[in-house]
Every structure is written in C-alpha cells, then in structure tokens.
Chain A
Amino acid sequence: MKLTLKIWRQGGKYKGEFVTYQLNDVNEHMSFLEMLDVLNEQLVHQREEPVAFEHDCREGICGTCSLVIDGRAHGPMKGTTTCQVHMRHYKDGDTIVIEPFRARAFPVIKDLVVDRSSFDRIIQSGGYVSVNTGQAQDANNIPIGKDVAGKSFDAAACIGCGACVAACPNASAMLFTSAKISHLALLPQGQVERKQRVLDMVAQMDLEGFGKCSNVTACEAECPKEISVENIARMNREYMAASFTAEKV
C-alpha cells in the first residue's frame, strides 16, 4: 500500500516542523515501527537523516516506544502499544500524522524522541521496598489474598511509557504515579514505606512540572495496559491519609 507520512522533525537542520514523506510499498504484515524502519532505510539511501524514534522490546512490554499517531498516544487501537500496531489497520492512500508525546515535563530530544527521565525520578523517590539481605525468601512466605494480589498486579502492569501524560489535556502524570503507588501500597511488602512513599512520589511528580488531574479519564482510555483511574482515587486516599497521619514531617 501507498502511504503519506507527516512526521515531526526536530533537531539538526529541522527547527521543529512536520515533514511529509511518501512510502510506496508498505506491507500490511509490517508493524508500525517496521514501517518506520523502512522509511529510515529509504532516507539513509537518499543520504538524509533518519527519523529518530524510540523502541526496544517490540513486544508491548517494555514501555520504550511512544508516538502520538493521528492524535492518539500509541495509535488507534485500545490497549495497544505503538510496536503492536500493525499496518493492516491502515489502507492504501492513508495519510498518517506522527508526533512526539507532548508535555512540559517530556521535552523533545530529537524528532519523535522525548526525555521521560522525569518518570525515573518519580520512581527513584519512592518506588522501592525494604527487604532483608541474605537468602532470598520463599515465594509463598507471605500469603496475599487473590483480590489484593489482582488489584496490585493490575497496577503493576504499568510499563511507564508516558501515554497517560501524552493523552491528558493537563499533561498530568497521576495515572502513572498512582499505578506505582497502588502496586506497592496494596502489598504487605510495601507497608514499611507506605506513607512516606506517597508523600515523596507526589512531591516529585509536582516538582517535575506535570499537570493536575481534572478527572478527564483520557489517560485510562489511551493507556496501552488499560490501567484504571481507580488507582488515582486510591492515590488520593493514600495521600490524604499519609499527609494527616505520617510520623515524619
């Protein structure tokens, strides 16, 4: 199939603009990223700078790929990362607009690559648990109910890709942060730092310049792992409880 791509180019000779490319032989079995690989090969042959975009596992589990495709973070399908979008969802003659994730806290590094290290710093501020050193504990040493384990796992499914921020009209990182807080707050292993964790992670999130949740729920709709805004409610509960009862001030 023939496609027209309008891709955001920034860095080098590009000041930040859309550049239009034609691809004449796109196979419907290609993934979206393979289609971009083909474009880049074509650009290299033409002695042009290839389009920079992020990718790693290409299996939908690492959270490295990003892209806003035709106005949707991770493309047109529900619960899918960009790397799992396949070209069979497009038809001959389509025009596809590809932009980077946009948020003040996600500055563009080059073309479609944005700096998501703000997420790393949120994780560093509280996304850990204290464990004893020595021999690894037996896996079933601490019994955890199925309901709690399930809820915690639903939150832990977050791959930290940043689609929630990209989709949010406020560029808020609350779905991401709340997923990380929920994941640990629900489990017995997360109890030691429970209060300090939510205080620190929310403080870091605010410091990074993310927006404030208006309960738009666009994050939930675009999340490739379909993380629920129920986690945001839980984070709010945790934050209020911790603010009013934490020992450390």
Chain B
Amino acid sequence: MAIFAARLEQNASKPQHIHLFMNWFSKFLTSSLGQKVVMALSGIFLMLFLVVHLIGNLQLLKDDGGAAFNQYAYFMTHWPPIKMISYLLYATILLHAWQGLLLWQANKAARGAARYAVNHVRSNERASRSMAWLGIIILIFIVLHMYQFWFQMHWGPIPYLEYDNYDHPVRDIYTLVAATYTNLGYVLFYIICMAVVGYHLWHGFWSSFQTLGLGSNRYSGLIKTIGMLYAVAVPLLFALIPALMYFM
C-alpha cells in the first residue's frame, strides 16, 4: 500500500497519460530490439536520401555548363519543406552513428573479456561483422564531404550566375564541384568511400528490413535481391560522377 501511494505521488507531477506514454515508449527505445529499430528506421531514411541525392548529382553530367545542377542546388537549399527535411537528415546521420557506436560498444562487452582461441564465424552476411568500421569511415567521409561542398556552398566564396528563369543570381556550385574533381586524389578518395558505402549497404539494406520483422520467408528473397542491386547500383553511379568529371 505504501509503495502504491508513493507511486501515485511520483506520478502526480505529470499528467497520467504522458507518464504512461513515456514509460512504454522509452522502455521500447532503450530495449535491445528498440535500439535495433532505431538503427533500421534511420538507416532506411538515409538510404532513401541517397537516392534523392543521386538523382540530384546526376544533373552534374548534363552538358549545360552546370545550369541544371545549380538550379537544383538552389531549389534544395531554399524550398522550406526540403530545408526542414535536411535538418531531419543531419539529426538522423548523428542518431544512426551514435546509436550504432553504442550498440557496437554494448556488443563487445556482451562477448565478455575472454576470447575464443579459434573462431570461425560462419555467416552469409560477411559485411555484418564490419558495420561499425565501415560506418566510421563513412562518417569521416561525410564530415569531409560536408566541409568540401555544404560548408563552402553556405559560407565559402562562391560566385553567382544569372539564369533566364530566375530574377536573382544563383550560386555556381557546379564550378566548385568540377574544380574539386580535377584533383585525382579527391576522385580516388570518393570512389573508395563509395565502395565502403556499398559494402555497408550490402548488409545494411536487408538487415534493416530483417530488424523491422520483414525478413521472414515471404519477403526475404525480394528484399535481399533489391538490397544487392541497391548496394551495387547506387554507390557505383555516385562513384561514376567524379570519375567522368575528371576525364571530361
């Protein structure tokens, strides 16, 4: 009875329904399965973003001196809904990285201090064992990538160009990108990082859906096939852009 009274008192400070919601929701999010769901949902959002980003980047290959790409970049940085989504995107990248590192740490601890002298992990998902390392490389890539383009675009000395269908000048991001990819080192770094992204997604795509409970027999074949196609095609197309720009 005393415990019950104490509980009532403790709950009295918050409206009851909020307390109950926070109770089960935080329990869900901090459970092992909930943490995996966070990884899966954020991962799927990032994979959707990559497709949009790729479609935008493909404008770089249009033979119009960068007009299509510059206007696309203007649209992406000025239309409010897209801006809102971009903030969500930055938060998602941080969340995915942070939650991933926490899981990595927890899993290393769960293995215990003693290691196997002989260890043959039999797995069809080889990439699954390197997700943390691949993720860290990708995070470093994102930081550099954002400094090179995102930071320069917002605060760097970018010249403006006039376009007929715009009543104001538009930043010439195309020239910045084209100049960056005259450097062979950057091109190679970019291509290597895209290979890392591909390997991360080789496991990550299917793994996300498996975590969300869609990896059962009815869907797993389809999801695995789409995942493999995605993990090869998307990074390959991304990598082709700087490679082609370098040789053009």
Contacts and interface: CB of A to CB of B under 8 A. Distances in A.
A61 B28 CA distance: 35
B32 interface: yes
A180 interface: no
B107 A249 contact: no
At the interface, is chain A mostly helix, strand, loop or mixed?
mixed
A130 B33 CA distance: 26
Size class of the contact patch on chain A: 35 or more
Contacts of B128: 214-217
Contact of B32 (A70, A105, A206, A215): A206
B143 interface: no
B120 A70 contact: yes
A230 B216 CA distance: 5
Given A70-B120, A214-B103, 8 more contacts: A102-B116, A213-B36, A217-B125, A230-B216, A233-B215, A234-B213, A240-B213, A249-B23
A205 B212 CA distance: 19
Interface of A: 6, 8, 16, 18, 68, 70-72, 97, 99, 102-105, 108, 167, 169-172, 174, 202-203, 205-206, 209-218, 221-222, 229-230, 232-240, 243-244, 246, 249
B32 A205 contact: yes
Contact of A218 (B27, B123, B214): B123
Nearest to A69: B118
B121 A218 contact: yes
Interface stretch (B59-67, B166-174, B203-211): B203-211
Given A202-B31, A206-B32, A237-B213, A214 B207 contact: yes
Interface residues of B, number: 46
A249 B72 CA distance: 48
A215 B220 CA distance: 13
A18 B117 contact: yes
A16 B112 CA distance: 14
B106 interface: yes
A167 B122 CA distance: 8
A202 B33 CA distance: 8
A221 B109 CA distance: 23
A139 B25 CA distance: 40
A235 B211 CA distance: 9
Contact of B213 (A167, A206, A218, A236): A236
A103 B111 contact: yes
Nearest to B132: A214
Which of A99, A216, A235, A238 has most B Cβ within 10 Å? A216
Given A18-B117, A70-B120, A71-B118, A212 B129 contact: no
Given A71-B120, A104-B109, A171-B107, A16 B125 contact: no
B179 to A, nearest CB: 40
Contact of B107 (A105, A214, A238, A246): A214
B20 interface: yes
Nearest to B113: A104
A243 B24 contact: yes
A233 B213 contact: yes
Given A213-B36, A215-B211, A217-B124, A68 B111 contact: no
B118 to A, nearest CB: 4
B112 A103 contact: yes
Prevailing SS type, chain B contact patch:
helix
A230 B211 contact: no
Contacts of B37: 236, 240
A171 B20 CA distance: 32
Nearest to A178: B33
A151 to B, nearest CB: 10
17 contacts: A16-B114, A70-B118, A71-B116, A71-B118, A99-B117, A102-B111, A103-B111, A103-B112, A203-B31, A211-B32, A213-B36, A217-B123, A217-B124, A233-B213, A235-B213, A240-B28, A240-B37
A236 B216 CA distance: 11
Contacts of A203: 27, 31
A211 B154 CA distance: 42
A170 B111 contact: yes
B57 interface: no
Contacts of A239: 31, 33
Contacts of B129: 169, 214, 216
A229 B210 contact: yes
Given A240-B213, A243-B34, A209 B207 contact: no
B118 A97 contact: yes
A104 B24 contact: no
